[in-house]
Amino acid sequence: MLRLSTLFLRTLRDDPADAEVPSHKLLVRAGYVRRVAPGIYSWLPLGVIVQENVATVVREEMNRIGSQEVHFPALIPREIFEESGRWAAYGDTLFRLKDRKDVDYLLAPTHEELFTLLVKGEYSSYKDYPLALYQIQTKYRDEARPRAGILRGREFVMKDSYSFDISHEGLEKSYRAHRDAYERIFSRLGFDYRIVFAVSGAMGGSASEEFLAPAPSGEDTFVQCTNCDYAANTEAVEIAAPQRHDPQDHPPQQVLDTPDTPTIDTLVERMRDLGHDTTAAATLKNVVLRTRAPGADAWELLVVGVPGDREVDLKRLAGQLEPVVVEQAGPEDLATQPGLVKGYIGPQALADLKVRYLVDPLVVEGSAWVTGANAEGKHAADVVRGRDFTPDGEIGAVEIRDGDRCARCGSPLEIARGIELGHVFQLGETYAKTFGLTALDQNGKPVTITMGSYGVGVTRAVAALAEQTFDEKGLCWPRIISPADVHLVATGKDDTVFAAAETLAAELEAAGVRVLFDDRRGVSPGVKFKDAELIGVPTIAIVGKGLADGTIEVRDRKSDECRDVPVADAAQAIVTAVRD
């Protein structure tokens, strides 16, 4: 039983000045956490309990799919990250330190290396697999800008797990098992969440999905269909392309004099003057970028074609091209290819110039465009894909807009913000290859192990749940992670009130109900009620005024519904409420 008379807790009336998002304000005000340094927090007793409750659910579901708990150090010698290349690759985000002998160490931001090495040291036969391991551990990332309190810290607790399989089919199965486990975890924790497609990124895996909790304070932007269950983050999203046409179904292309029209706006205006009813959406904008493959030292030009009313989303491109680096081309890059006339670039000439050309899927086969004619002051109309030019490929390049159409069902998409709760990810052989994690197969031949990587932010889940459940009065926890089942308030100066409350508390505890008992003497009722609401335990029971009539009040924190229950029935009524 937690007693407020002795609990290490001090609630605050005012929001902390440095807090912006609701979870941060409330977790501080209600005495769950205190800030120590940017992105670094201390957890007070109530916070520890809530965090532990989240961890318990995560453990149960990991164990249920046969994953086994291990624990790695956070302090790791440089060599291990040197071997994976991440001592250099991680950059400033890695916390680095030295021991007394001047040897380099790091505080682990994640543990792929250690999981891989551990398994390598123990297992060597195909008979040992499949295997799944996990840990719940503190991670360290020197974020450029920690923000939003607990939501993005430099020190945070994460459950990370890895699956090890000898075949891709095995990996698929392991991935599925983790995905299912994550669905159970987030459902049980009481989240409203979405599973969104993500890009697989640098690790070269084939599947990657994120679990996002929609919240205005979320820092991830994602796209969801207003009709079907399609959702993707903005880097991975696909949108419906327009109908294809027969490329021959258009008048022949014609070159037009369009002096001083290097931008889409000036071009549209000029076309109007020429008597054409051209909109920006009917023009084809060709943006010059440059790419560099990993290990290469030279940049290569890449031109991307998008409708003129759209911007190119570099982040989205980068996500798809990774590990190839992409950025805006500068004047010096353009200078290497005199055939590209700035402001008047058209795809008609790119093949001859041997410049790689990709189009957004919105530029469908058979579509006709007004675009550059590759000469100063010249544009061309009725330039048709499949007739007048053929791109080297398609890539989702345009900035997604609210109202774009779902690729699956054609309904409008909407853009929303979310908090990334978890990530499931087919890592593949990357780390197994780096560290030589293999197993002998039935024929005695070594096969490389294929891995999956799965993460849940435990401390972040606490804050995210606060974000999704708080109200104007304070926190409002789902029962499963609440620091207690019932917040029992004794109010009044009469000893009989406190005696009755003590009895009730003991009965509840005997019935297995977790009780937070406000047994403070000399604290006014208003203060106790406000504290109870701020702390956010789902059921509040009040022993006070009603005791004279032989009743105890039982109140639901969320709905505010309340009823008076005879003292004799109170324990049973609360047990029932709590077991709902």
Partner RNA sequence: CGGGGAGUGGCGCAGUGGUAGCGCACCAGCUUUGGGUGCUGGCGGUCGGGGGUUCGAAUCCCCCCUCCCCGACCA
Residues lying near RNA in the complex (CB under 7 A) are found at 10-18, 20, 37-39, 90, 93, 109-110, 112, 141, 143-148, 152, 160, 201-203, 219, 315, 423, 425, 453, 455, 473, 491-493, 522, 524-527, 529-531, 533-534, 542-546, 553, 555
**Shortest distance in whole angstroms from residue 218 CB to RNA:** 11
**Shortest distance in whole angstroms from residue 210 CB to RNA:** 10
- Residue with smaller CB distance to RNA, 153 or 346: 153
Q: How many residues does the chain have?
A: 580
Cβ atoms of residues 517 and 501 within 8 Å:
yes
- Residue with smaller CB distance to RNA, 336 or 496: 496
Provide the token pair at 388: 């007048």
Residue 54 CB: number of other CB atoms within 10 A? 26
- How big is the chain by its Cα radius of gyration, in Å? 30
Amino acid at the residue 259: P
- Residue with smaller CB distance to RNA, 12 or 274: 12
**Distance (Å, rounded) from C-alpha 290 to C-alpha 293?**
10
Residue 94 CB: number of other CB atoms within 10 A? 18
Amino acid at the residue 513: V
**Shortest distance in whole angstroms from residue 146 CB to RNA:** 6
- Residue with smaller CB distance to RNA, 229 or 311: 311
- Residue with smaller CB distance to RNA, 226 or 524: 524
CA atoms 211, 213, 216, 219: torsion sign: negative
SS3 of residue 318 by DSSP: helix
Q: Which residues have C-beta within 8 Å of that of residue 430, sequence separation ≥ 6?
A: 203, 204, 205, 451
**Distance (Å, rounded) from C-alpha 331 to C-alpha 434?**
39
**Shortest distance in whole angstroms from residue 11 CB to RNA:** 5
Provide the token pair at 103: 């040897």
- Residue with smaller CB distance to RNA, 194 or 385: 194
SS3 of residue 510 by DSSP: helix
- Residue with smaller CB distance to RNA, 39 or 418: 39
Cβ atoms of residues 304 and 358 within 8 Å:
yes
**Shortest distance in whole angstroms from residue 423 CB to RNA:** 6
SS3 of residue 231 by DSSP: strand
Amino acid at the residue 194: R
Cβ atoms of residues 393 and 165 within 8 Å:
no
**Shortest distance in whole angstroms from residue 144 CB to RNA:** 4
Of 435, 480, 488, nearest to 462 by C-alpha is 480
- Residue with smaller CB distance to RNA, 25 or 120: 25
Long-range interactions of 222-225: CB distance < 8 A, separation 24+: 222/194, 222/196, 222/415, 222/416, 222/417, 222/418, 223/196, 223/400, 223/404, 223/413, 223/414, 223/415, 223/416, 224/194, 224/196, 224/413, 224/414, 224/416, 225/406, 225/408, 225/409, 225/411, 225/412, 225/413
- Residue with smaller CB distance to RNA, 53 or 200: 200
**Shortest distance in whole angstroms from residue 148 CB to RNA:** 6
**Shortest distance in whole angstroms from residue 473 CB to RNA:** 7
- Residue with smaller CB distance to RNA, 225 or 535: 535
**Shortest distance in whole angstroms from residue 139 CB to RNA:** 9
Cβ atoms of residues 499 and 551 within 8 Å:
no
**Shortest distance in whole angstroms from residue 211 CB to RNA:** 13
- Residue with smaller CB distance to RNA, 90 or 129: 90
**Shortest distance in whole angstroms from residue 99 CB to RNA:** 24
DSSP line for 44-70: -HHHHHHHHHHHHHHHHHHHHTT-EE-
Q: Which residues have C-beta within 8 Å of that of residue 335, sequence separation ≥ 6?
A: none
- Residue with smaller CB distance to RNA, 109 or 372: 109
**Shortest distance in whole angstroms from residue 96 CB to RNA:** 16
**Shortest distance in whole angstroms from residue 316 CB to RNA:** 11
Question: Exposed, middle or buried, 421 (CB in 10 Å: 0-12/13-18/19+)?
Answer: buried
The beta strands (E) that lie in 346-504 are given as 356-359, 368-375, 378-384, 393-394, 413-428, 438-440, 446-448, 450-457, 486-490
- Residue with smaller CB distance to RNA, 205 or 372: 205
